[in-house]
Amino acid sequence: MSDLDARLRTWRHHLHRHPETAFEERATGDFVATVLQEAGYEVARGVGGTGLVASMTKGASPRSVGLRADMDGLPLTEVEGRRHGSTSPGRMHACGHDGHMAMVLGAATVLAQEGFDGTVRLVFQPAEEPGRGARAMITDGLLERFPVDAIHGIHNMPGIPAGHLHTRVGGFMASEDNFEIVVTGRGGHAARPHAVVDPLVTGAEIVLALQTVASRNVDPVDPAVLSCTGFVTDGARNAIPTQVRITGDTRSFDPMVQDLLEARIREISTGIAAAHGVSCEVTYTHEFTPTVNHPEATRRAVAAAETALGADRVDGQCPPAMPSEDFGVFAEHVPACFAFLGNGLEPGRGGTPLHSSDYDVNDDVLGDGVRYLVAVAREELAATGPAQASW
């Protein structure tokens, strides 16, 4: 094992043992800042709350590139018995952000030691899980203070062979919108249904009717998911409820599809409620923007991955994925590419699903992530054309 491989594992295990959730990543930021300052980077803290940006300029090139890592863990309890397990009750790195940070720290170390021509910026983003951190950093002046010509990020992915990289041009990860439908009638005794206005039957009909939206209202060539995920009433075994609350979310890539989904949810819910004589209120919120990869940034990412990992381990035309990622906000402002780095196929060897209490990053892929990030940084810095003045 090389010295860098050992450091990657040490960094990753430390971060895994000390997870912090959204906008609480202060100790995480302290650790990351220390490593980067020791490598010679200038570090700015408190960007977007608990985020940080590290910068280094070498040579005379006006080109600049950003490498992004997410910092927050999840409010989950980790399985016991893991040597580097969480020491924070009810918190764990169940999505691999500890691994992403270690990879970017490794890439930063290699670039500082080997040199480059241009400016490298390392963006450590808070609050990815709730989809709030990227916007907070941009609102806090990230775009003006730390301009880059392109930004790149990766996410470990169980179910993809270890060390393989997947990406694509265009829609890569979906938006996420949330909805809540509150149906209100008049409850009463279960033995006297004729004396009540039953919101439960109405709610059930709404849930079933919403299943036709994706299949009958959305063009089949446009990916879309509509899922009802919660159905809660204030009734009892022998009492018909007064109120039913339906919750769920939608996933899509096209803003027009987002608008269509919202419109149909409102129309179907209020229409069925009116037919049954109950009231209905619909709340619809936009949580995550879709992640849309820029063509040139993606071309450079694929070229870098083939150089770093080998062409046989790179898929530059993978299918889009319906989960969401806060990186999409950066991609709205600057040429960007997000990619999946395979974590492994077998449970316990990288294949355990994300957001599981027994999930863990496969340490064997950390070096692959570093090699890719170094290669893509060099690819962007070597690109021709004028530097972008700001995001």
214: alpha, beta or left, given left = phi > 0 and alpha = psi -120 to 50? alpha
CA-closest candidate to residue 103, choices 318, 375, 353: 375
Residues in the chain: 391
For residue 97, say whether it is annotated as part of any ligand binding site: yes
CB atoms within 10 A of CB 145: 15
Active site residue 219: no
**Residues in contact with 246: Cβ distance below 8 Å, sequence separation at least 6, in sequence order:** 180, 181, 182, 183, 203, 206, 207, 228, 230, 231
Catalytic site residue from 20, 72, 177, 315 = 72
**Residues in contact with 377: Cβ distance below 8 Å, sequence separation at least 6, in sequence order:** 65, 67, 107, 111, 116, 120, 152
CA-closest candidate to residue 202, choices 164, 241, 247, 156: 241
For residue 286, say whether it is annotated as part of any ligand binding site: no
Catalytic site residue from 128, 149, 360, 380 = 128
Residue 206 burial (C-beta neighbours within 10 Å; 0-12, 13-18, 19+): buried
Active site residue 364: no
For residue 296, say whether it is annotated as part of any ligand binding site: no
77 secondary structure, DSSP code: P
Amino acid occupying residue 236:
A
Q: List, as residue ranges, the binding site.
A: 95, 97, 129, 155, 355
* Active-site amino acid positions: 72, 128
Please enumerate, by residue number, every residue annotated as part of a binding site for Mn(2+): 95, 97, 129, 155, 355
